[in-house]
Structure 1
């Protein structure tokens, strides 16, 4: 098995030049194109992905341990297929629309300035996670653990308090209607 450590990859088109199978530790991938490739069984530990395209990447048993994704395009990813052991990442300025986190345990995950339109968080554990300035239009929260999660600066979410665990979660008064969508009521904030 290949073990790659402390290496920086810049502008590599992994969809043309296949990525080596193995383990990557303390590496940086900058402006690389991974779109539509298979990252199955590869281990990434303390790796940064900056301005990369990872859309539609296959993630069967892929290990993401202490990963930073920054300014990445990550459409349609299935994080539920990742290796669960040590699964930990943060997202900043990323496009994660149509991605799935079904049944993942990703407590204390930071989502910052990211687009998560129609992302699936069904049965996901997001305890103490922070959604800072995120667009959650059409995102699915069903039987999701959102205890102590912070949504105060995010918008367009629709979360049913009866079908999700939201104890001590934080919400903005401006977006509180996202907790009442199922009742089909009108909230007038002009009064």
Structure 2
């Protein structure tokens, strides 16, 4: 096991490297490439990754606490049973990433790309998904209570059995959302009805 503390890296190519079972504390990585790197069981705490690529990287069972991944790319990365606790993920792209069993505990996931992501039965309570793209995502039986879903794209998302109570849903395009089997609160029901032309007193 290795440990890096308070290190700064800029435009470094870590592609294909063996970075397994390491610990990164308060490190900063700017425009670094981790493509196809082996990063299983990596632990980050208070780190910042800015405009980095994790394309095809193996991050199975990795844990991330209060770290920031800003405008990063996890295209085709494997995040099986990875855990993100209170992380800031603004603008990050998870296109075709393997997300089975991964855990999100709070944090800011604004503007992320989670199109067609498989998020069934996920506990996503309190996460900020402001203006995120969740179109086509499978959110069946997901717990989204208390989330900020302002202007989120939920077109063609599967929401059967999902719990949206207490979530902020201003600006959501309700006509594109299939609410069959979804648990909603009264305020959301009013927004839904008004979006479909009903006059609610």
TM-score by length of 2: 0.79
| 3-state SS in 1 of match to 2:153 | coil
Encode CA deviations 1:39-82: one digit per residue, 9 max, x unaligned.
Answer: 01222111111010012211122221211000111113343332
Q: Is structure 2 residue 119 aligned with structure 1 residue 121?
A: yes
Structure 1 residue 174, shift from structure 2 partner: 4.4
How many residues align? The count is 184
Quick check: 101-110 or 65-74, which moved more? Answer: 101-110
Does the CA-based 8 Å contact 2:87-2:106 persist in structure 1?
no
TM-score by length of 1: 0.82
Distance 1:31 1:65 in 2: 21
Q: Is structure 2 residue 168 aligned with structure 1 residue 170?
A: yes
Gaps of 5+ in 1: none
When residues 92 and 174 of structure 1 are mapped into structure 2, their CA distance, relative to the original with a 3 A threshold, is closer
| 3-state SS in 1 of match to 2:44 | strand
Quick check: 87-96 or 51-60, which moved more? Answer: 87-96
Quick check: 141-150 or 167-176, which moved more? Answer: 167-176
Encode CA deviations 1:18-45: one digit per residue, 9 max, x unaligned.
Answer: 5475211000011111111110122211
Q: After TM superposition, which residue ranges in structure 1, 4 or more long, deviate above 4 angstroms?
A: 16-21
Encode CA deviations 1:58-115: one digit per residue, 9 max, x unaligned.
Answer: 1122221211000111113343332x5x744221121122234434442323112222
In structure 1, the partner of 2:140 is 142
In structure 2, the partner of 1:99 is 97
Gaps of 5+ in 2: 182-194
| 3-state SS in 2 of match to 1:91 | coil
In structure 2, the partner of 1:112 is 110
Quick check: 149-158 or 24-33, which moved more? Answer: 149-158
RMSD (Å), alpha carbons: 2.6
